[in-house]
């Protein structure tokens, strides 16, 4: 061991004995000192490196406590046989590094220009003063102040009928599904739980149920009556659909819950955004209060990096939740929960949603105009009455994947609408009706027209 | 329907047509109007309530879109048959409402007096300025800035050897387990995955693995060699143990990973706290780098309401993580991740941990002195060399549960150490060696002596 290679750092940030210990560990890790080797005596090492004997002794006893050295009475310290191959630096497999496109119609971002940062910072500052709330783990169900604010907000904005006690808060809808999959399995099934997922599905959500042993079936409006499962997932504002449930389907869904004594997970993602009418209110508020679990989120209302979602449990599920809920720690930051509570209480959320609705309406109009100008009748707008996406169909010789590749080569990223059985695209002669989804939330107003111009070139 | 009961709110916060729509929905919900009933014509309702016809028409068409009404040409609007029982307000089953004790040795809190709120607020404020980071969903793996800071911090403070690319950030250790259970099942097993959990276990952690189909076994130091599973969970600073792994056990664990090609989950909860020596470094840094998943958390280092935990994956697991990781959305707030990154970079975490270590050391001393004064030789301190808990054994006629009940009646909450096979308590004659855990993190320095005095009275 070349202990003479050791260079002490005397700035005092790290005690000397730790510096030597780390140096010796590194030598072991690199295989430069080998099991069974005897280390210099405390006296010799101290003399060689001009250290006090206490420093050397502390270093050796720490390495012994950690298992790197073994102390043998009368004969000194030896390198333990860890039987561990030496750790060499290695190349790590790297993550995907897809370069950013010049124009992005494929992202999940929100428009940051609208976000009231200064107001939000004030609410965060207030929350940071509530020491008592910060030093504990917080309520597993979520901060009471936020649950009160959400019961009120979801009623006003989405027609949800509930008490604060029915609300469970979590960091994202997946964490809510972890709890729901457990809760509903105990409630509905003993073995072989099954959930019927509305087409086209939601991979991140299904992953949680599948990993917890659920079988995933699919359904759509036409196949509702043949569903065998006692649990349905619907997402009325899913971007791939882009339109809300018809009045008839709403009534059929409610009847289904009663006839089967089944449950519906109503994921109200983007439910606040409708441009031509005020948003249709939630199914939850229309039901008997016992068969619909309502799920809300703030990803699109404030910003996606704020990880706060919530669900409204029917009163009949609360005893089960009380039993297992304490096994699930709260995942959402207490400070952000408290900040959101006062942000909502003071009416900031209502005002912000209003502003966003105007902004997104304006963008949707710009996008529609640009498409008409560059494509004329070659593009058909299939849906954009809700949400932050526009689904279009382009008359082209390519399937959606290929059309997306050509767009990306021209600097514009778009989302191909998955073909196959979920959303078929039709072919007539040598031309396809190519379905594409354009998300306009994360693109600026001034970028919309030039981006569509590039699409027109790419899809000429 | 007594539409004359309708009282419009003319403050302008809510459009009039929505007010009427909500009023009608409420009547339907309460069963005051019944399916099939015909509503007043647009003309009649407008006249009766002094509304414009547009207002009434908008109200009716909204209720039709939502499915509450059905419009029949030439004959008007009728209440739809929802076949839903009316929703009456009902009493909710309430959560547990155990009153607070005067002195609490049983909580999971941290000492808030030490927390540098002003510095933290500054870092939050800086993070809020990074608009680009806030408007997206953030990296599923965690913000790169924080992963860089953690790779550096975990190396300096805990001897962890890793690159930032190996780190995955999440809101709490449970969310990490959701990913790990999926990742390791794919890696190690096709069916019947099994994990051996170090006694006395960790209910919230086991819940996640169990719900994802894992079988949970138990082991301790003595039974390590008989473990059948290829995955072990160890928590070297578990409060119920209160002592770190012996050098011999550390070497045996490392050998076990190599002999079985098995994995260890090393949960380093509280690993930073040792009072008599500097903390023993992580197992991870001692291994070959491929068999130990290191788990760290900031619940005790900063405050529990900050939901940031992380894990270090071996390079060999990264390809699997790249495959399934994108199915798991990030749960931790981006703002708090960015704030923590700069907080660590500027050395604030290192300084804060130093301060906490002094504070908790002082509290441990106060507690030890008070116990000696009031109980003398009746109390034996079993362990407090690490962590924020002291495990004691009291000479008493009660089992731990009964001793805890008596303490609580005297205004002091303590944690009985579970008896049975995990941690036996012995009985000699009519006296027990009653084992109790005292958590001193969340109790103030000045409260320690009076709380112990009350315990002495309760356990006389």
- B118-166 pLDDT, tens per residue? 898 899 889 988 877 777 778 899 999 999 999 999 998 888 999 999 9
A92–B165 CB contact, under 8 Å = yes
Beta partners for B296?
B310
Respond yes or no on whether ipTM tops 0.90. Answer: no
Backbone phi, psi, residue A299, to 5°: -55, -45
CA distance A375 to chain B (A): 30
Residues of A within 8 A of B95 (CB-CB) are 141, 165, 322
Is B277 an 8 Å CB contact of chain A? yes
Residue A181 half-sphere exposure toward CB, CA atoms < 13 A: 29
Is B254 an 8 Å CB contact of chain A? yes
Per-residue confidence at B421, pLDDT binned at 50, 70, 90?
very low
Distance CA A33, CA A26 (A): 9
Q: Which of B438, B348, B344, B361 is nearest to B117 (CA)?
A: B348
Distance CA B299, CA B302 (A): 6
Identify the helix (H) or strand (E) that includes residue A206. Answer: helix A203-211
Distance CA A330, CA A134 (A): 13
Q: How far is CA A176 from the centre of its chain?
A: 11
Give yes or no for residue A141 having a pLDDT over 90.
yes
Please give the pLDDT value at position B305.
Answer: 78
For residues B161 and B283, the answer to whether their CB atoms sit within 8 Å is no
Please give the pLDDT value at position A86.
Answer: 57
Report the b/e string of B118-157 with b at 16+ CB within 10 A: eebbbbbeebbeeeebbbbbbbbbbbebbbbbbbebbbeb
Report the b/e string of B375-396 with b at 16+ CB within 10 A: beeebebbbbbbbbbbbbbbbb
Is A11 an 8 Å CB contact of chain B? no
325-344 in chain B: CB under 8 A from chain A: 327-336
Residues of B within 8 A of A288 (CB-CB) are 84-87
Q: Which of the pair, A206 or B421, is modelled with greater confidence?
A: A206
Mean pLDDT of chain A: 85
Average pLDDT over residues B290-316: 89
Distance CA A110, CA A273 (A): 13
Span B256-270, pLDDT tens digits: 998 888 999 999 877
Per-residue confidence at B86, pLDDT binned at 50, 70, 90?
low
Residues near B102 by beta carbon (within 8 Å), at least 6 away in sequence: B411, B412, B451, B454
Distance CA B41, CA B26 (A): 19
Distance CA A131, CA A120 (A): 19
Of A125, A136, A171, the CB nearest to B109: A136
DSSP SS3 for B14: coil
Q: How far is CA B259 from CA A84, A368, B227, B256, B291, in A?
A: 10, 64, 12, 5, 11
Distance CA A78, CA A70 (A): 5
Using CB atoms within 10 A of its CB, is residue A342 exposed (0-12), middle (13-18) or buried (19+)?
Answer: middle
In B210-340, which ranges are E strands? 215-219, 231-234, 263-267, 292-297, 309-312
**Minimum Cα–Cα distance from A321: chain B residue:** B95
Average pLDDT over residues B186-195: 80
Distance CA A212, CA A180 (A): 10
Give yes or no for residue A422 having a pLDDT over 60.
no
Please give the pLDDT value at position A424.
Answer: 46
A124–B124 CB contact, under 8 Å = yes
Please give the pLDDT value at position A239.
Answer: 56
CA distance A379 to chain B (A): 28
Is B164 an 8 Å CB contact of chain A? no
Average pLDDT over residues A184-194: 80
Q: Which of B21, B19, B8, B11 is nearest to B62 (CA)?
A: B21
Q: Which of B81, B55, B68 is nearest to B24 (CA)?
A: B68
Identify the helix (H) or strand (E) that includes residue B404. Answer: helix B400-409
Distance CA B19, CA B3 (A): 12
Give yes or no for residue B242 having a pLDDT over 60.
no
Please give the pLDDT value at position B274.
Answer: 64
B131–A115 CB contact, under 8 Å = yes
* % of chain B with per-residue pLDDT over 90: 37
Terminal CA-CA length for chain A: 70
100-129 in chain B: CB under 8 A from chain A: 107-112, 115, 117, 120-121, 124-125, 128-129
What is the crossing angle of helices B16-29 and B53-65, to 10°?
Answer: 50
Of B67, B135, B141, the CB nearest to A250: B67
Per-residue confidence at B422, pLDDT binned at 50, 70, 90?
very low
DSSP annotation string for A128-139: HT-HHHHHS---
Is B140 an 8 Å CB contact of chain A? no
Per-residue confidence at A4, pLDDT binned at 50, 70, 90?
low
A171–B80 CB contact, under 8 Å = no
For residues A198 and A233, the answer to whether their CB atoms sit within 8 Å is yes
Please give the pLDDT value at position B105.
Answer: 87
Is B68 an 8 Å CB contact of chain A? yes
Per-residue confidence at A116, pLDDT binned at 50, 70, 90?
confident
B286–A83 CB contact, under 8 Å = no
Is A428 an 8 Å CB contact of chain B? no
Mean pLDDT of chain B: 85
| Lowest-confidence region among A89-103, B161-175, B323-337 | A89-103
Please give the pLDDT value at position B51.
Answer: 85
Give yes or no for residue B420 having a pLDDT over 50.
no
Residues near B69 by beta carbon (within 8 Å), at least 6 away in sequence: B39, B60, B63, B77, B78, B79, B80
Span A42-93, pLDDT tens digits: 998 888 888 899 999 999 988 988 889 999 988 899 998 876 665 555 566 5
Which residue out of A27, A63, A66 would a mutagenesis test of the B interface target, given it has the greatest number of B Cβ atoms within 10 Å? A66
Please give the pLDDT value at position B244.
Answer: 63
Residues near A181 by beta carbon (within 8 Å), at least 6 away in sequence: A193, A208, A209, A212, A214, B211
Is B444 an 8 Å CB contact of chain A? no
Q: How far is CA A21 from CA A28, A42, A69, A454, B244, in A?
A: 11, 13, 11, 61, 19
Average pLDDT over residues B441-452: 90
| Lowest-confidence region among A265-274, A366-375, B209-218 | A265-274
Is B95 an 8 Å CB contact of chain A? yes
Please give the pLDDT value at position A242.
Answer: 47
pTM of the model: 0.85
Region for residue A164 given its phi and psi (left: phi exceeds 0; alpha: psi -120 to 50; beta: otherwise): alpha
Q: How far is CA B426 from the centre of its chain?
A: 34
Residues near B6 by beta carbon (within 8 Å), at least 6 away in sequence: B19, B20, B23, B49
**Minimum Cα–Cα distance from A315: chain B residue:** B92
Please give the pLDDT value at position A421.
Answer: 37
């Amino acid at each position: 061991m070349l202990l003479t290679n050791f260079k002490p750092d005397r700035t005092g940030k790290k005690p000397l004995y730790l510096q030597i210990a780390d140096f010796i560990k590194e030598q072991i890790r690199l295989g430069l000192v080998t099991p069974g080797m005897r280390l210099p005596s405390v006296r010799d090492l101290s003399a060689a490196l001009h250290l006090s004997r206490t420093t050397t002794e502390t270093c050796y006893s720490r390495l012994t406590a950690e298992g790197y050295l073994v102390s043998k009475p009368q004969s000194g310290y030896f390198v333990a046989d860890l039987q561990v191959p030496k750790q060499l630096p290695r190349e790590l497999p790297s993550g995907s590094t897809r370069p950013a496109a010049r124009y992005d119609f494929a992202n999940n971002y929100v428009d940051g220009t609208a976000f009231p940062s200064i107001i939000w910072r004030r609410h965060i500052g207030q929350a940071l003063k509530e020491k008592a709330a910060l030093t504990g783990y917080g309520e597993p169900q979520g901060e009471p102040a936020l649950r009160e604010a959400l019961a009120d907000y979801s009623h006003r904005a989405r027609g949800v009928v509930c008490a604060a006690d029915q609300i469970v808060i979590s960091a994202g809808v997946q964490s809510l599904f972890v709890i729901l999959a457990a809760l509903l399995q105990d409630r509905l099934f003993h073995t072989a739980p099954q959930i019927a997922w509305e087409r086209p599905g939601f991979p991140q959500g299904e992953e949680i149920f599948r990993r917890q042993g659920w079988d995933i079936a699919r359904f759509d409006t036409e196949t509702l009556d043949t569903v065998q499962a006692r649990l349905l997932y619907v997402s009325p504002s899913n971007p791939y659909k882009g339109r809300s449930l018809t009045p008839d389907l709403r009534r059929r869904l409610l009847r289904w819950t009663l006839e089967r004594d089944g449950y519906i997970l109503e994921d109200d993602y983007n439910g606040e955004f409708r441009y031509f009418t005020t948003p249709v209110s939630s199914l939850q508020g229309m039901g008997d209060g016992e068969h619909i679990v309502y799920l809300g989120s703030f990803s699109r209302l404030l910003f996606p990096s704020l990880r706060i979602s919530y669900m409204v449990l029917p009163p009949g599920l609360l005893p089960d939740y009380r039993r297992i809920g304490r096994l699930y720690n709260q995942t959402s930051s207490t400070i952000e929960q408290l900040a959101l509570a006062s942000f909502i209480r003071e009416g900031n959320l209502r005002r912000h949603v209003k502003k966003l609705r105007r902004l997104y309406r304006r963008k949707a109009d710009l996008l529609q105009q640009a498409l008409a100008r560059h494509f004329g009748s070659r593009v058909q707008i299939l849906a954009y009455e809700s949400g932050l996406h526009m689904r279009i169909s382009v008359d082209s010789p390519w399937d959606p994947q290929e059309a997306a590749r050509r767009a990306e080569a021209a600097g514009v990223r778009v989302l191909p609408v998955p073909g196959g059985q979920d959303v078929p695209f039709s072919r007539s002669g040598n031309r396809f009706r190519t379905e594409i989804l354009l998300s306009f939330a994360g693109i600026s107003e001034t970028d919309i027209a030039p981006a569509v111009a590039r699409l027109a070139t790419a899809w000429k």
